[in-house]
Amino acid sequence: MINRPKFLVSFIFFCVFYNFAHASLIDIKVKVQDEIITNIDIENEKRYLFFLNPKLQELEKPRTNNIAKESLITEIIKRKEIEKFFDFNNKNDLLDLVENNLLIRKKIKDKGELIKILNEKNIRYETIKKKLLVEALWNQLIFEKYSKNIVINKEDLKKNILDQFNNKKKKFTYNLSEIVITESVNEKIEEKIFIINKSLKEIGFENTANIYSISNTASNGGLIGWVNELQISKDIKKNIQKLNISQISKPIKINNGYILIKINDKKEIKNEINLENELKKLINKETNRQLNSFSMILYKRLKKNIEINEY
């Protein structure tokens, strides 16, 4: 027969010891102002990043830990700035838009299938929603702050499209990925390019993009997707038109940095040109490029002025 008082005391002691032991496994890794990032947060972030780019799982654990840590730091810095302008509690139509983009990108048919996949990977759907909302509101903030600073010469773009179309018999659309890098105070661009090239040989394009690219395509392994060659700038097209599938360009100079382009696939365009449609696409692409540049400038300024302590 069980001695109930002794049993209860033993059980309570076990619970307290168990909880204490497991609590001790939680380590604070980073403090961003008044918010902490723990080892548990990093593990959860890794699952999310692996979902976006499964190739990350090929990297060694310290590297993926660092990628996840930097991703969380970025999210906190962006969210703190967004909260000055937007109410996260208000339903935002942008969330539906970015969620649909995620479904298309991951080739998932609907939200139900997405939730099922996330559950299998031990990722909470609510967590994904919060992350998507941060990115959506950050992009909206950048547009509202800097859209008036965008400079686009429509006549030049139109002339560029017509010149390319009229001067070439065969025309192609490309499936592209990118790595965008900039020079920093502590690292010259030549040193960064050397590191990028070394990384490409060791861990491949997608993982290198995840680690080093400053573009918003980085979390998806640098994937841009299908782009009509009429929407590609002359400098970039000149560097990629002779590349074969799976080949990577040399670093190409762009505003505020360099870009490396990988050809994932390409196919010949058979249909006639629709100038207005191509012009709209090119304007949209140039607008996004300039907004992405403004986004990086703002983020770097915010990060420089926020207290970040690593443990």
pLDDT values of the chain reduced to their tens digit, one per residue, 311 residues: 445 444 444 444 444 444 444 445 889 999 999 999 999 999 999 999 999 889 899 899 999 999 999 999 999 999 999 999 988 777 667 778 888 888 888 889 898 999 999 999 999 998 888 898 898 899 999 999 999 999 888 888 888 777 777 766 677 889 999 999 887 766 778 888 899 999 999 999 999 999 999 888 888 899 999 988 878 888 888 889 889 999 999 999 887 788 999 999 998 877 667 778 888 888 888 888 889 889 988 998 999 999 999 98
**CB-count burial class (<10 Å; 0-12, 13-18, 19+) for 153:** exposed
Report the pLDDT value the prediction gives residue 279, as an integer from 0 to 100: 86
**Ranges of H-type helices in 188-244:** 189-212, 234-240
Q: For residue 296, give Cα distances in angstroms to 78, 175, 180, 279.
A: 11, 25, 11, 26
Residues in the chain: 311
Q: Find the angle CA(193)-CA(194)-CA(196) to the nearest 5 degrees.
A: 60
186 vs 192: CA distance, rounded Å: 10
**Residue tagged 């496994």 (tokens):** 25
In degrees and rounded to multiples of 5, residue 269 shows phi and psi of -90, 125
Report the pLDDT value the prediction gives residue 100, as an integer from 0 to 100: 85
User: Using an 8 Å Cβ cutoff, are 275 and 282 in contact?
Assistant: no
User: Using an 8 Å Cβ cutoff, are 77 and 306 in contact?
Assistant: yes
**Ranges of H-type helices in 83-124:** 93-105, 111-120
> How do 252-254 and 257-268 pair as beta strands?
antiparallel
Report the pLDDT value the prediction gives residue 262, as an integer from 0 to 100: 96
- Provide the whole-model pTM: 0.74
Indicate the class that CATH gives domain 163-292.
Answer: alpha beta
Amino acid 270 reads: K
Report the pLDDT value the prediction gives residue 13, as an integer from 0 to 100: 41
Report the pLDDT value the prediction gives residue 19, as an integer from 0 to 100: 46
311 vs 39: CA distance, rounded Å: 11
User: Using an 8 Å Cβ cutoff, are 113 and 121 in contact?
Assistant: no
Report the pLDDT value the prediction gives residue 144, as an integer from 0 to 100: 93
Report the pLDDT value the prediction gives residue 230, as an integer from 0 to 100: 79
Sign of CA dihedral 229, 102, 212, 150: positive
Q: In what order do the strands lie in the sheet with 257-268?
A: 223-228, 172-181, 257-268, 252-254
300 vs 157: CA distance, rounded Å: 30
Q: For residue 73, give Cα distances in angstroms to 27, 45, 78, 138.
A: 16, 11, 9, 14
Q: Is 107 left (phi over 0), alpha (psi -120 to 50) or beta?
A: left
292 vs 143: CA distance, rounded Å: 10
Here the tokens at position 43 are 């593990």
